[in-house]
Structure 1
Amino acid sequence: MARKQSDYLTSLLSDDQSVDPEMTAITDGISRALERPRGTTLLNRENALARVAKGEVRQVTQLLLDPARVRVWPGNARTYAHLDADNCRELIDSIVAEGGQKVPAVVRRIEDDPDHDYEVVAGTRRHWSIAWLRAHDYPDMQFLAQVAQLDDEAAFRLADLENRARADVSDLERACNYLAALSTHYNDHQSRMAERLKVSKSWLSKMLKVATIPDMVVGAFASPAEISLRSGYALAHALDDHANASAIAGMARVIAGEQAQRRIDGIPPFPPADVLRRLLDAPRLSSGEDKPDLFSFSNKYGRTVLSLQSINRQGATIRIHAGSGAEPDHLVEALRTLLDHLEATGRGLSR
């Protein structure tokens, strides 16, 4: 029995590119037009095609590419060097089981590189996995990509949207990516960046703060992925004090050496909560104090806004300092930072 015309047109516009690598897939409006009830008329289908011709419906080109001819855009938060067969195993197995990549990556064409024709904007893990499969028994596997015309700022926003849904992109990776983008795309205007990314200013401010943690301190953790927004913000805030920073850096070197030895001995690394606690306790230990680790929050002029006086099982004593010039919103931010600090160090008041 001959297929209906609508079925035939649908097959032509499907995402399956196995017949023609440079086939154009027409999405959105066409798909909706074809997904109407069985009473859809030829006139309706002709109207859908006419909308494409007028530019009302976007055409999206999908290609099957050799991953070796595609480079990774450095503006993406994901660290390509951290990818391996273990953390990409689920995706690799899925590609093999389905006979190829089904969800296209997003790439853009480049002209200034004789070794590459495109660069990946979104889909770094897919690119790595296809390249790995080609080197491991699947030499004919190809990289499915959707070609888009994007400037760097639009590419950054697209990659960020995809990475927000990815649990394997760490807070620290995203924070460092945001810090780089702040000057590259937004002229150091945090408000403009928050507006473009559709995130709150306070959340973005915390992410940018986490990105200031030195590599030496990050090296104390078994993996950068272990630094969350909450713990990273508490650590970055503690590093603002120069005396604290010196003690924390010294402790980070000690922990990093211990972590390396544990890897050699085949012993699991220290849990991230233990590493964080040792780093935040370093200033107190280096000064010989045995009282609870106090916490203070200062404004940009160096004036103390809020400080933790004591904490025990009955509660915490917090002092709000007079004369700091802090507005109510700043006091709320200071209190939230203190609560994050207590939670990150295992002394949250909700316990």
Structure 2
Amino acid sequence: MARKQSDYLAALLADEVIESEPETATPSDTVAEEAPALPRHDRMRGTTLLGRESALARVASGEVRQVTQLLLNPDRVRVWTGNARSYQHLSKESCAELIDSIIAEGGQKVPAVVRRVEGDPHHDFEVIAGTRRHWSISWLRANSYPEMQFVAQVVALDDEAAFRLADLENRARKDVSDLERARNYAQALQDHYGNHMTRMAERLKLSKGWLSKMLKVASISDIVLEAFASPADVQLKPAYPLAQAMEDPVAAPAIMREARKIAREQEERRTKGQSTIASAEVIARLLAIKTQPNQTAKTAQVYSGPLGRPAVTVQSANRQGVTLRLHAGSGVDNARLLEIIQNALTELEDTGRGLQR
């Protein structure tokens, strides 16, 4: 970890109240020559008491900081939802190096950071930093290593401080995608900083311009993201122009239509065992979309029933609402008519013209 980040981490944890057994000081090696030799158990008892007194004195003076490290059952520890890392996307493959390291060292050597929780009958702590360690220990316990324990340092942090600590750890992790961090920042902006981006940037010691770009990438629609083989493929620099393009009310519907088309192609490739479309190609295709003035936005869309007769027509779709016409004599019953209406509304949503715009 870079010195600047290390100093930031130290400052973040410096004022937290943490308790533990005090560190045992090393007994003095100086013994008066004229003192008679004491039996071994008496000597050990004396040095233990002196060592404990010395340790307590060092803690009281602030020379030694007390830290709680517990051996926990990971089943009793939940993962804090404010962390950017997607726990459900972790796997044996993504954690392979860490798993091998834990096995080789006979256990987890670097403690995670957790805080106590209340009111949850199933969990006693939650992970603030160390999600991969939690997942790896859980996996090992379920796969031939039931004795493995989750090693954690207990701290007292409010949600905003917990977010800053988790973010600091994730900055150095290559397996936390830009999209995960961007969406984590967008949620934190609302939850912890009252939607004040400048204050958030100052607290996280980030460039305001860089944070602005991350928040814009976080706004990319889920429909567009489905065009990518994996959310991890969405990186800040290439995705930022796409996020800007999605702000164009004319281009956005066309981009979403193309995204759905690409998503279907991706699924077909997976089914056939073929390689998926690369992120760069996906972005190029989405940005290459050209829209024609006054295209479908002002064109009535007609939905027919099984007999080929018009059943529902979308007469208009704008910011004021959606106007539908239900045709008489379409030959469809009410249940089928409602299904057609639902399909029409879904297609409008997919193209950015629905009621949820």
Q: TM-score with structure 1 length normalisation?
A: 0.68
Q: Distance in 1 between matches of 2:245 and 2:189?
A: 23
Find out whether 1:89 has 2:96 as its counterpart: yes
Q: Which residue of 182, 191, 197 maps to 2:198?
A: 191
Which amino acid in 2 is paired with 1:239? M
Task: Measure how far apart 1:44 and its partner are.
Answer: 12
Which amino acid in 1 is paired with 2:268? Q
Match of 1:226 in 2: 233
Q: Distance in 1 between matches of 2:134 and 2:195?
A: 31
Partner SS, residue 288 of structure 2:
helix
Q: Which residue of 230, 248, 251 maps to 2:255?
A: 248
Report if aligned partners of 1:25, 1:62 keep a CA contact under 8 Å in 2: no
Q: Distance in 1 between matches of 2:55 and 2:70?
A: 24
Which ranges in structure 1 are unaligned for 5 or more consecutive residues? 1-21, 289-351
Closer/same/farther in 2, CA of residues 56 and 273 from structure 1, 3 Å limit: same
Find out whether 1:77 has 2:100 as its counterpart: no
The residue correspondences of 1:1-351 to structure 2 (distance < 5 A) are 24=21, 49-55=56-62, 57-282=64-289, 284=290, 286-287=291-292
**Identity %, equivalent residues:** 65
Task: Measure how far apart 1:48 and its partner are.
Answer: 6.8
Aligned residues: 255
Task: Measure how far apart 1:193 and its partner are.
Answer: 0.4
Report if aligned partners of 1:25, 1:61 keep a CA contact under 8 Å in 2: no
Partner SS, residue 146 of structure 1:
strand
Following superposition, which runs of at least 4 residues in structure 1 exceed 6 angstroms of deviation?
A: 42-48
Closer/same/farther in 2, CA of residues 220 and 47 from structure 1, 3 Å limit: same
Q: TM-score with structure 2 length normalisation?
A: 0.67
Task: Measure how far apart 1:46 and its partner are.
Answer: 7.6
Which ranges in structure 2 are unaligned for 5 or more consecutive residues? 1-18, 31-46, 294-357
Report if aligned partners of 2:95, 2:132 keep a CA contact under 8 Å in 1: yes
Task: Measure how far apart 1:108 and its partner are.
Answer: 0.2
Task: Measure how far apart 1:54 and its partner are.
Answer: 3.6
Task: Measure how far apart 1:94 and its partner are.
Answer: 1.0
Partner SS, residue 59 of structure 1:
coil
Report if aligned partners of 2:22, 2:55 keep a CA contact under 8 Å in 1: no
Report if aligned partners of 1:23, 1:63 keep a CA contact under 8 Å in 2: no
Structure label with greater radius of gyration: 2
Report if aligned partners of 1:209, 1:236 keep a CA contact under 8 Å in 2: yes
